[in-house]
């Protein structure tokens, strides 16, 4: 099966000498829901910029559904839709005109484009605003407009570069439902996001990019299975004695009088932990994962070994975002 996107030895060095991509090889299968993750400055946006023809590559090859972006740029571009990270619509155009105009660039006749625009604007909850000037839209509406615009020509591959940044949770969830439906219809989705729990919930395959190179590329399930430790925060009804803390067979530290942090490694299980606590008459009121599993892996792969630990109470992904 032809890959939706294949990058071969992709390199980019900016004029100021900054090497943003250092020979990236990546393949995304047709129909996949793929996460491309990385800390700020890792090269994600440069990579997407090159695929979108907004950034000139220094070397390497980009193929979209088998069409080489250098040799068959029009065929490659016809397969591709992009929702950029930064807002880039004409503020003085009406919402519907933004979508129709974009479709026109792909050769979609105006009447067909109008019908298609209505479908997507309705699905994304923007139809009531279709005669409104773009500059009057809220941040969340602008994000949804960019999705509708990217779909104007019905692409086979949709790249979403942090599409939910700054969007409230209700709209974010409705956007994900919409994108999941697109994927179910056969559209390949490539997603970058700083909300790692979303990537974990939505994506089947994942690549992590750091300092211009792919440091991990695997199915989400395989990657998560690699995680050999998980940290839980336990909220206690009765405090744990200092002596018990020292004797604990698990790495454990008190956060305050009623909360402890416990690290479970491969082979450990919660039942054994609870039995150990039970034996010391400690009752657990509730517990939570300290960090999302993907977040933990992400940090393992992208943080230098010497980096200081994340500040207590600050979610790891937020510290990176």
Partner 1 sequence: MSAPAAESTGARWRRYWTAFNTIATRETRRYLRIWLQTLVPPAITMTLYFVIFGSLIGERIGPVAGFDYMAYIVPGLIMMSVITNAYTNVVSSFFGAKFQRFVEELLVAPVPGWIILAGFVAGGVGRALLVGLLVTGVSLFFWDVSIAHPWIVASVVLLTAILFSLGGFLNAIFARKFDDISIVPTFVLTPLTYLGGVFYSIDMLPAFWQQVSLANPVLYMVNAFRYGFLGTADIPIAIAYGIIGLVIVLLTGIALVLLERGTGIRT
List residues near partner 1 by CB under 8 A: 14, 49, 52-56, 73-75, 77-80, 82, 84, 86-93, 97, 101-102, 104-109, 149, 153-156, 182, 185-187
Supply φ then ψ for residue 61, to 5 degrees.
Answer: -140, 140
Distance of closest approach, residue 202 Cβ to partner 1, in angstroms: 18
Q: Tokens 């949709």 correspond to what residue?
A: 158
Q: Tokens 């996001």 correspond to what residue?
A: 193
**Closer by beta carbon to partner 1, 5 or else 187:** 187
**Closer by beta carbon to partner 1, 105 or else 173:** 105
222 — alpha (psi -120 to 50), left (phi > 0) or beta? alpha
Which pair of tokens denotes residue 226? Answer: 């690699």
Query: Residue 117: which residues within 8 A CB-CB, separation 6 or more?
Result: 96, 99, 100, 103, 130, 148, 152
Distance of closest approach, residue 77 Cβ to partner 1, in angstroms: 4
Taking residue 293's Cβ as centre, other Cβ atoms within 10 Å add up to 17
| CA 196 – CA 189 distance, rounded (Å) | 16
Distance of closest approach, residue 28 Cβ to partner 1, in angstroms: 16
Distance of closest approach, residue 242 Cβ to partner 1, in angstroms: 57
Distance of closest approach, residue 187 Cβ to partner 1, in angstroms: 5
Q: How far is CA 107 from CA 64, 118, 147, in A?
A: 19, 18, 19
**Closer by beta carbon to partner 1, 93 or else 300:** 93
| CA 192 – CA 248 distance, rounded (Å) | 40
**Closer by beta carbon to partner 1, 91 or else 289:** 91
CB 62 within 8 A of CB 24: no
CB 87 within 8 A of CB 147: no
| CA 304 – CA 309 distance, rounded (Å) | 11
| CA 177 – CA 184 distance, rounded (Å) | 10
**Closer by beta carbon to partner 1, 191 or else 206:** 191
**Closer by beta carbon to partner 1, 135 or else 283:** 135
Beta bridge partners of 80: 157
Distance of closest approach, residue 10 Cβ to partner 1, in angstroms: 15
Q: Tokens 């790495």 correspond to what residue?
A: 251
**Closer by beta carbon to partner 1, 126 or else 150:** 150
- Residue 208, H or E segment: strand 205-210
**Closer by beta carbon to partner 1, 111 or else 307:** 111
């Amino acid at each position: 099966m032809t890959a939706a996107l294949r990058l071969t030895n992709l390199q980019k060095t900016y004029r100021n000498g900054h090497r943003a991509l250092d020979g990236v090889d990546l393949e995304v299968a047709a129909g996949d829901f793929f996460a491309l993750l990385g800390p700020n400055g890792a090269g994600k946006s440069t990579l997407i910029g090159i695929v979108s023809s907004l950034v000139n590559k220094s070397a390497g090859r980009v193929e979209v559904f088998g069409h080489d972006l250098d040799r068959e740029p029009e065929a490659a571009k016809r397969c591709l839709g992009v929702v950029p990270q930064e807002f880039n619509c004409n503020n003085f155009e009406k919402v519907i005109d933004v979508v129709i105009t974009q479709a026109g660039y792909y050769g979609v006749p105006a009447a067909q484009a109008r019908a298609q625009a209505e479908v997507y604007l309705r699905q994304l909850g923007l139809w009531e605003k279709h005669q409104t000037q773009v500059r009057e839209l809220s941040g969340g509406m602008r994000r949804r407009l960019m999705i509708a615009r990217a779909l104007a020509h019905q692409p086979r591959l949709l790249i979403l570069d942090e599409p939910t940044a700054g969007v409230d949770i209700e709209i974010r969830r409705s956007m994900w439902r919409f994108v999941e439906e697109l994927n179910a219809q056969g559209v390949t989705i490539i997603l970058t996001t700083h909300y790692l729990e979303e990537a974990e919930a939505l994506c089947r395959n994942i690549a992590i990019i750091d300092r211009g190179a792919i440091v991990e590329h695997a199915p989400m399930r395989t990657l998560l299975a690699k995680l050999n430790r998980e940290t839980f925060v336990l909220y206690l009804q009765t405090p744990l004695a200092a002596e018990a803390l020292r004797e604990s067979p698990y790495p454990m530290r008190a956060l305050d009088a009623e909360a402890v942090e416990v690290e479970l490694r491969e082979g450990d299980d919660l039942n054994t932990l609870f039995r150990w606590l039970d034996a010391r008459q400690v009752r657990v009121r509730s517990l939570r994962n300290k960090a999302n599993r993907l977040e933990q892996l992400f940090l393992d792969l992208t943080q230098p070994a010497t980096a200081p630990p994340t500040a207590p109470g600050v979610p790891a992904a937020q510290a990176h975002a």
